[in-house]
Amino acid sequence: MLGLRAIPQKGLDAYPAHFSKGMKKVITYGTYDLLHQGHINLLRRAKALGDYLIVGVTNDSFDRERGKLNVRNNVLERVEAVKATGFADQIIIEDYVGQKIDDIQKYDVDIFAIGSDWEGKFDYLKEYCEVVYLPRTEGISSTMLRDETTQDVKVGILGCGRVAKRFPGEADVFSGVKVISTY
């Protein structure tokens, strides 16, 4: 996707060679839709853990695959928003499940940081680097901001097959869809 693979902000070249050897690299990931104070706090805290912050912004298709169906800003807008915070030294795009392990190795990352809503979920990365769960900012989220302007898609299910029975449970993990009735 149009040179989006790795977008250096300051880039390692901006640092003297001796600095890059000893520098502590931190990586974090997210969608950063409708960028808000919670994201900004997270990025500030992640940056404070080290010297160089890499931010992985989810690609639109990857978000759809993981059930985020109502993301408002496209990946370019979300990259721009993260860039504007000034905390990211480098922005990369997250495209696939399992990319985190590849990135940590590829960029020689010391610390993986993520909000505490993911507590425990990324412990498997401890095999590759330090894992830090940062406090999540209460009272603000992209979902809240989206809900102020849109409503969930409300659906009714009619049918008796396996798919119809599975749908209500599976719809729970998707954002933006609410099952109102089944028959």
Q: Which residues bind ligand C2G (CB under 6 A)?
A: 29-33, 38-39, 42, 58, 114-115, 117-118, 136-137, 140-142
Let me know: does 137 contact 31? Beta carbons within 8 Å.
no
C-alpha to C-alpha distances, 84 to 36, 40, 128, nearest whole angstrom: 12, 10, 30
Output the smallest distance, CB 105 to ligand C2G, in A.
17
In the bound state with ligand C2G, the residue whose beta carbon lies nearer, of 130 and 182, is: 130
By beta-carbon distance, which residue lies closest to ligand C2G?
A: 115
Contacts with 149 (C-beta within 8 Å, 6 or more apart), sequence order = none
Q: Least distance to ligand C2G from the beta carbon of 12, Å?
A: 23
Smallest separation, CB 177 to ligand C2G (Å): 17
| CB of 89 or CB of 94, closer to ligand C2G | 94
Minimum Å distance from CB 16 to ligand C2G?
A: 31
- Closer residue to ligand C2G, CB minimum distance, 166 or 172: 172
Backbone angles phi, psi at 157, to 5 degrees: -110, 130
Q: Which of 156, 150, 152 is nearest to 168 (CA)?
A: 156
> Which of residues 38 and 50 has its CB atom nearest to ligand C2G in the complex?
38
First vs last C-alpha separation in the chain? 44
Least gap, CB of 161 to ligand C2G (angstroms): 32
Distance CA 35, CA 46 (A): 16
- Cα–chain center distance at 119: 14
Considering beta carbons, is residue 15 or 77 the nearer one to ligand C2G? 77
Residue 2 host element (H or E): none
